[in-house]
Structure 1
Amino acid sequence: MEQKQQISWFGRIRQAVSGGVRGARISEQMNPGFFSSTAGVEEERRWGYASGTEEDYYWRRLSDNFYLKDLVPSAYLEMHNQVYEAYHANPLAFAIIEMTTSFVLGRGVKLDASNKRVKKVLDEFWQANSMDERVYTICNELALYGEIFVRYFVNRFDGSVKVRLTDPSLIDQIETDPEDIETPLRFHRRPVGESASAPSSTTGGLKLIFRPGERETEGEWFEADSQMQQFAINKVSNAKRGNSDLATMLPWLRRYKDWLTDRVRINKYKGAFIWDVTLRGADRKTIDTKRMEYSTPPQPGSVLLHNEAESWQAVQPAINANDAKEDGRALKLMIAVGAGLPEHYLADSSNGNRATAAEMGMPTLLKFQRRQRYMKYILRCILDRVLAEAQGAGRLGENVNLSYDLIFPEIDLDDNKQLAGAANALTQALTAAKAQGWLSDETAMRLLFKFAGEDISVHDELARIRGEQASCQAPPPQDA
């Protein structure tokens, strides 16, 4: 055991000198065999597995705690740098993030409320915060970083609210309830230098000023819910931080990009050639004379005239790389699996037909629908805060109906004509079953709403129907 501990310590020191994850990336570029079966892969190094032989696999660094499910801070920041770089430099990574946002939000989100005053408050907030465009930023950064931190700025006089996104890389600590890790208490933002606001007499805008030594060295704490709110995806229940949609694909995105770069170089070299000129029986002086004469290669389409003592031949490199297509497809399939996208979504439709594509699209649509529900939850949390502040400032009464609807675009692209025909047939079948006394109105409505894919409460809808019937049956008011 003592010998084993010494070996493990040496492995940790060697890893620290190599620079952790960044050192692993450099090592992979310098040594293609770095990520062999015995050396481990970057994913294992990121999550703290010890490098070395097979028997070292179940050893971890001393800095790791088995009960913590989050990345260590250095690996977390490195992850953010890598996903940000991939989003801006890797077309495949950019397409995955943008495709998610396009499916989830489509042409945008609409607001509707039954109470006019509530509708006015929500519309004012929506316009003041440019939410028509900000919702796309929220969805993009949620997929890119795996979490967003929404900071609230409340006007204490009229209760108006402004929201801004705080860079998750700046949040270095999350303090939670000791008995409930899912209940955050406050968030700590790392020092960012001058970050307080004061009027600027020169520009008329805001100038950031602090008293020396106040926040620039200690950072700042924000209370959960009242000042800042966190929304995270791709995490387990005992984790505090979310993970990017690109996290599991980062090594494969880089490898696929490197593979394509190599293919470009190979194709470039395959088209390269040199002229091999043979002079039979020529002495040194004749060779030097011909070298001076042919110092400039012949132009394409030119005619070469020579006798039998001189021969010309174009020599090309023998690069046999025509069988690498499946290698690239295997890399792309690994990325597609990690992204939860069918292969034809990633610009490769050569290995399927329309029927196959339709069947493969269902899991992807369900994934986008789940992300759409989470986006709806995020916006509801923000809008509920807006209405609560409006009530606190007296803009809305305590007994006013605060209900509102968030209308997201439909993700399922089924033929509307076929859907309408099926709905008509179902309605007739339910009417006939109701007439025969085989089912109740409540069950019929539940089946109809389930078919339509709408999450509507049957009891609430029945209450609305009774209310409308009562208002229609009420006698008109008599003139005095």
Structure 2
Amino acid sequence: MSWLEKVKGMFSTPAEAAPPATESKPSGARLTEAAGSQSASEAGWTRLTGEGMGKQNERDLTPLAQERMQKIAEWLWQSNLLANRLVELPLAYLLAEGVTIQCKNEARQMQLNAFWNDPINNWPLKLPPRVRALGLLGEQCYICHVNEANGFVRLGYLNPRQIATVVMDPDNPEQPIGVVTKKDSKGRYNKYRVVILGEDEEHFTLRTAEIRASDFTDGDCLLYQVNKFPDGSRGRSDLLGQMDWLDAYDNFLFNELDRIEYLRSFVWDVKMTGADPESVKKYQQEFKPPAPNSTFVHNDSIELKAISPTLQAADTAESASLLRNHVLGGGTLPEHWFGGGGDVNRAVGAEMGEPTFKVLTSRQSMLKIMLEEIGRFVLWFGARGGEQPDWSSDEWKVTAVFPELQSKDVAKFAAAMQGVVTAVGQMIETGLLTEETGLKLIGDVAQRFGQAFDAKKELEEARKEHAQRKKERQAEDSFNLPADVRDALKSGQAAPAPAPAPAAQA
């Protein structure tokens, strides 16, 4: 047995079966897939992100590829300007003005405030780095620490690079049920149970509930992942598809620096007419290049010229724009967000941003769901032993409030509101539209201003206010009536006196 086979035997497990014997192949034969992409073994081709897919789940990267992806994502964010902007610009739009979680019930709002602003949790400070890491590493995992006395929740942080595997429900491959960490230097590791809001017996099969109860005994965790297939177990970085191109763009710019340096170089060309080799050699030994702003004295047989290299390079700006736009397009960012734009004006630039804001809205919706689930988890443990949470009730509803992604063109919406109000009024007056439906149309425009209301309820309140204002005006207009009638009018207990009839003329 060779030393290599001995080493392999040390790391193999008894459960592993020996591979079946296969027919030997000629040494020069090359094995390729019937259909596939460029082979990783091809000379001169190596991806920055590595190669390979997981054996256990075709939807995942191998553990080594997953770890390499995370390391490269962190490195690119720190060292590559374009990668940094691909991460930081969306982060600023999502969180720049801050985020809050709210509940209509005052007592539960106090619970959420205590959790949100706790010195250890400190979500206003820790949320931006966590959202950044979610996009870079594809995952976030928070270890739950619950005070058994009062149910107060504090969340610890588990670095995604310390996750060895995410265990999926054997009866539902879309649902993660546990997280296993990597072993430390002493061979220790932890197995955390992924939090589900409710009792395991209500949400899982008996087999899965037993696995969660018996195997994952080191505590609970909250797990959130992005960029994964439904049956994949690991999240992936937002930069995964762009890593090689980001590295290529950096290499292009560094090579361009070398080219610029070469273009600035020059040599002195000395031409000696009618000189023999001995004279040329002697002059070469004695020649000193003239210093700047100095003189060079010579006769008509000597000619001195400075020659710069002509590299015949392609248009650098065009090549740089091609690479940059390829990367920015993959991140759904318009080029004028990174200092480009060409002939883009304000109107065209605003239209080019529409796909970007749709993608940002999608990520914001995911973060909203994540924070609202964390808020419900806080209320759930706070109510342990007391009232049973009713997540369908507004009293238990948790809402994460994010800043607006883009400033609204108020003038445009104001003009639209004026036109809608005028049209609705005319249609109601002619009997073509009910007041409630007309108010719904106005409400659609009002939502662009951030105002939402129930049309039926608002109509009832508006009619009450209108009747009250009408009574007050009638009371103000009856100053010439007797005091008792005036008081009765103010209290709504009397009708206004009719106007006196004009005197008959003789």
Query: Per the alignment, in what secondary structure is the counterpart of residue 313 of structure 1?
Result: strand
Quote the residue 1:438 is aligned against: 433
1:223 to 177, 188, 193: 193
* 2: CA distance, partners of 1:250 / 1:285: 59
Quote the residue 1:272 is aligned against: 265
Matched, 1:42 2:47: yes
Query: Superposed, which structure 2 residues align to 1:104-123 within 5 Å?
Result: 104-123=94-113
Quote the residue 1:97 is aligned against: 87
CA separation of 1:468 and 1:350: change in aligned 2, threshold 3 A: closer
* 2: CA distance, partners of 1:374 / 1:395: 29
Post-superposition offset of 1:219: 1.3
* 2: CA distance, partners of 1:4 / 1:447: 78
**Could you tell me whether the CA contact under 8 Å between 1:269 and 1:317 is conserved in 2?**
yes
Post-superposition offset of 1:138: 2.0
Matched, 1:422 2:392: no
1:94 partner amino acid: N
1:185 to 177, 201, 226: 177
Task: Quote the sequence identity (%).
Answer: 22
Quote the residue 2:156 is aligned against: 164
* 2: CA distance, partners of 1:5 / 1:449: 71
CA separation of 1:176 and 1:98: change in aligned 2, threshold 3 A: same
**Could you tell me whether the CA contact under 8 Å between 1:158 and 1:395 is conserved in 2?**
no
Post-superposition offset of 1:131: 1.3
Post-superposition offset of 1:71: 1.0
Post-superposition offset of 1:378: 1.1
1:332 to 284, 300, 324: 324
* 1: CA distance, partners of 2:350 / 2:248: 29
Cα deviations by residue, 1:318-358 (Å, 9 ceiling, x for unpaired): 21114243322222222122111122223211153333322
**Could you tell me whether the CA contact under 8 Å between 2:267 and 2:307 is conserved in 1?**
yes
1:376 to 345, 368, 371: 368
Structure showing greater radius of gyration is 2
**Could you tell me whether the CA contact under 8 Å between 1:278 and 1:310 is conserved in 2?**
yes
CA separation of 1:310 and 1:381: change in aligned 2, threshold 3 A: same
**Could you tell me whether the CA contact under 8 Å between 1:158 and 1:393 is conserved in 2?**
no
CA separation of 1:11 and 1:82: change in aligned 2, threshold 3 A: farther
Bigger shift: residues 325-334 or 176-185: 325-334
1:95 partner amino acid: R
CA separation of 1:113 and 1:449: change in aligned 2, threshold 3 A: farther
Query: Superposed, which structure 2 residues align to 1:305-320 within 5 Å?
Result: 305-320=297-312
* 2: CA distance, partners of 1:463 / 1:224: 42
CA separation of 1:365 and 1:293: change in aligned 2, threshold 3 A: same
CA separation of 1:291 and 1:43: change in aligned 2, threshold 3 A: closer
Quote the residue 1:243 is aligned against: 236
**Could you tell me whether the CA contact under 8 Å between 1:146 and 1:232 is conserved in 2?**
yes
Matched, 1:412 2:406: yes
Quote the residue 2:74 is aligned against: 84
Query: Per the alignment, in what secondary structure is the counterpart of residue 117 of structure 2?
Result: helix
* 2: CA distance, partners of 1:191 / 1:321: 52
* 2: CA distance, partners of 1:126 / 1:256: 41
CA separation of 1:417 and 1:4: change in aligned 2, threshold 3 A: farther
CA separation of 1:286 and 1:47: change in aligned 2, threshold 3 A: closer
Post-superposition offset of 1:93: 0.5
Aligned residue-pair number: 410
* 1: CA distance, partners of 2:427 / 2:25: 74
CA separation of 1:440 and 1:469: change in aligned 2, threshold 3 A: closer
Quote the residue 2:124 is aligned against: 132
1:76 partner amino acid: Q
Post-superposition offset of 1:406: 2.5
Bigger shift: residues 345-354 or 88-97: 345-354
Matched, 1:263 2:256: yes
CA separation of 1:430 and 1:170: change in aligned 2, threshold 3 A: farther
* 1: CA distance, partners of 2:419 / 2:256: 55
Quote the residue 1:361 is aligned against: 353
Bigger shift: residues 368-377 or 310-319: 310-319
Cα deviations by residue, 1:8-52 (Å, 9 ceiling, x for unpaired): 99659xxxxxxxx9x96xx99xx7xx24xxxxx73997355xxxx
1:426 partner amino acid: V
CA separation of 1:358 and 1:330: change in aligned 2, threshold 3 A: same
Quote the residue 1:213 is aligned against: none
Quote the residue 1:252 is aligned against: 245
Query: Per the alignment, in what secondary structure is the counterpart of residue 96 of structure 1?
Result: helix
Quote the residue 2:62 is aligned against: 72
Query: Per the alignment, in what secondary structure is the counterpart of residue 172 of structure 1?
Result: strand
Post-superposition offset of 1:104: 1.5
2:443 partner amino acid: L
**Could you tell me whether the CA contact under 8 Å between 2:443 and 2:452 is conserved in 1?**
no
TM normalised by structure 2 equals: 0.70
2:366 partner amino acid: Y
Unpaired stretches in structure 2, ≥5 consecutive residues = 1-21, 33-37, 197-219, 465-506
**Could you tell me whether the CA contact under 8 Å between 1:159 and 1:389 is conserved in 2?**
yes
Query: Per the alignment, in what secondary structure is the counterpart of residue 46 of structure 1?
Result: coil
CA separation of 1:430 and 1:187: change in aligned 2, threshold 3 A: farther
**Could you tell me whether the CA contact under 8 Å between 1:277 and 1:312 is conserved in 2?**
yes
Matched, 1:232 2:225: yes
Cα deviations by residue, 1:273-322 (Å, 9 ceiling, x for unpaired): 1223345537758855764562xx54433333333344321121121114
Post-superposition offset of 1:428: 4.7
Cα deviations by residue, 1:249-278 (Å, 9 ceiling, x for unpaired): 111111111111111111111011122334
Post-superposition offset of 1:441: 3.1
Query: Superposed, which structure 2 residues align to 1:195-234 within 5 Å?
Result: 216-225=186-195, 227-234=220-227
Alignment RMSD: 4.0
Quote the residue 2:503 is aligned against: none
Quote the residue 1:16 is aligned against: none
* 1: CA distance, partners of 2:81 / 2:49: 26
Post-superposition offset of 1:467: 11
Quote the residue 1:208 is aligned against: none
Post-superposition offset of 1:137: 1.2
* 2: CA distance, partners of 1:440 / 1:43: 64
**Could you tell me whether the CA contact under 8 Å between 2:100 and 2:400 is conserved in 1?**
yes
**Could you tell me whether the CA contact under 8 Å between 1:434 and 1:441 is conserved in 2?**
no
TM normalised by structure 1 equals: 0.73
